[in-house]
Chains A and B, each alone.
Chain A
């Protein structure tokens, strides 16, 4: 025995095919739009902290006011020694970053972003290697890039060479999936070489990655570091992560734009569903009045309408999920992949349901006003 309310709801829904299709298309577009915006947000959010996420540092020492990992900055070796003198600091490894020009044998140049670090021990080294080894980078001039940038950098295999700042570089390791949202390719190198490529003096660095000795409390060591190095800033990895996110997502307005897009999608979807549910209810008003006349409670009628909304939500969501998964697959290998984690998928489903049920309000208000006595005069 099927639920009669449900049967009435889906018959009402499917009765007018064209309107039904319009509703579903509306929901799909709206939810896909929300998914893309939120997926971009998640993808962006992950991407802007990728270097911080893959560094082993407990604490980051950086010049005061550094906004994000890519923010060019300069520290001095003396600060490193002062840091090492602080209780609980096990290591303080230099990291060098900076923009440089990648020159191909043919003479064409491309801007790249150098990431230099110690290759032995503690440091920020390339990960997800698909070719070569980290150790191979200790050869003078050895660099690692992501295979995604092969074409852009005009190299395609281990051993290929190019030039940075008149220094010969040779591709010795290849990573997969390390992409920069700034679209400037990352080039990993040994820290000393990185100084050459970025024109930095040998006693300088961009960051010092701090490892706290076992048993020491990160927060406490951080505070002590900050005290003995008042002219720099000491952030925990989490602190640097949230600062980078805030800068890229909100400082630049990119995050706000993505959220605004998602909100817009939600509003448009709600309006479309509300409009079609309202007009469907209007068409079936006589039936709802009859239901009321034969004694149905208000709740019974609302349930019919809400079932219509939920059915639309479920069907629309399935369509949207299908399209979104295609979008996710297509963008997976682009500079800004759309990332939809399972929790987000679930949240989007709830959002669709909320959207559709909220849309039912207009229809329900309309039905509440029905005077059942009208069925006798029609």
Chain B
């Protein structure tokens, strides 16, 4: 089996302050490996987004540890965490979070620009081609459908060759057909052994795309199913 790109060890997270303080994660162990698409499922409020944020180094755990490509991420300041994110993590959000004043191409370029990379336009157009938007590179977000916007967001997440793609309900705002298209793309990108994809979802229609399904409830992982066992066995 390929190396974990990100793994969480005994992660505990408290959120909020005072009376509102609660334990959103109660000792979670999870690893995301290259070449797999993992679904993280659970009821609302179970801690999915919190876990995704910690895996993606948007937050640090109260206790426990996160390793990115085997290296522990601990005691880092916000700048160092940002560096880990730009080097290793690609995010896809339910509400896309594209820049309304920039074209599709520039939105994708931005992910390279923050890394200080040159010759971005060609790379951005190539990736937009991969998500089927070769003809919309100059379009602004408001000129794109929801599905198209999410594809731009996917292009932005993968253009930097991140080892982990973390998506929080990427199909939540899309209809069935568009949701299907997005998941097909993500499943496709997850085949790359250097990249792992973790998708948080409520949507049972997504199940067929997963290599592994992790169930979370009330801050604890309560079950894990491995699908397409045969395929995973053959890879190890």
Which positions in A face B, CB cutoff 8 Å? 1, 4-5, 7-8, 11-12, 15, 286-287, 290-298, 300, 372-373, 375-378
B109 proximity list for chain A (CB < 8 A)? 4
Interface of chain A: mostly helix, strand, loop or mixed: helix
Residue of B with least CB distance to A294: B111
In the complex the two chains form, what is the Cα distance from A293 to B59 in whole Å? 10
A291 proximity list for chain B (CB < 8 A)? 110, 114
B110 in contact with A376 (CB, 8 Å): no
A373 in contact with B53 (CB, 8 Å): yes
Which positions in B face A, CB cutoff 8 Å? 49, 52-53, 58-59, 78-79, 82-87, 89-91, 93, 95, 97, 99-102, 106, 109-111, 113-115, 120-121, 156, 168
Residue of A with least CB distance to B78: A298
A297 in contact with B101 (CB, 8 Å): no
- The 17 sampled A-B contact pairs (Cβ below 8 Å) are A4-B110, A4-B120, A8-B102, A286-B97, A287-B99, A287-B100, A296-B82, A297-B83, A297-B114, A298-B82, A373-B53, A375-B58, A375-B97, A376-B49, A376-B53, A376-B91, A376-B168
**Closest chain B CB from A197 CB (angstroms):** 73
Residue of B with least CB distance to A5: B113
A376 proximity list for chain B (CB < 8 A)? 49, 52-53, 58, 91, 93, 168
A373 in contact with B82 (CB, 8 Å): no
B113 proximity list for chain A (CB < 8 A)? 4-5, 300
On whether A378 and B95 interact (CB within 8 A), knowing A11-B101, A293-B58, the answer reads: yes
A294 in contact with B52 (CB, 8 Å): no
B110 proximity list for chain A (CB < 8 A)? 4, 8, 291, 294
The one of B79, B93, B114 that contacts A375, using a Cβ cutoff of 8 Å = B93
The one of A287, A295, A377 that contacts B115, using a Cβ cutoff of 8 Å = A295
The one of B49, B102, B111, B156 that contacts A7, using a Cβ cutoff of 8 Å = B102
The one of B49, B84, B102 that contacts A11, using a Cβ cutoff of 8 Å = B102
In the complex the two chains form, what is the Cα distance from A378 to B173 in whole Å? 12
A298 in contact with B79 (CB, 8 Å): yes
**Closest chain B CB from A215 CB (angstroms):** 67
The one of A1, A12, A297, A375 that contacts B121, using a Cβ cutoff of 8 Å = A1
B93 in contact with A297 (CB, 8 Å): no
The one of A11, A12, A372 that contacts B58, using a Cβ cutoff of 8 Å = A372
A297 proximity list for chain B (CB < 8 A)? 79, 82-83, 86, 114
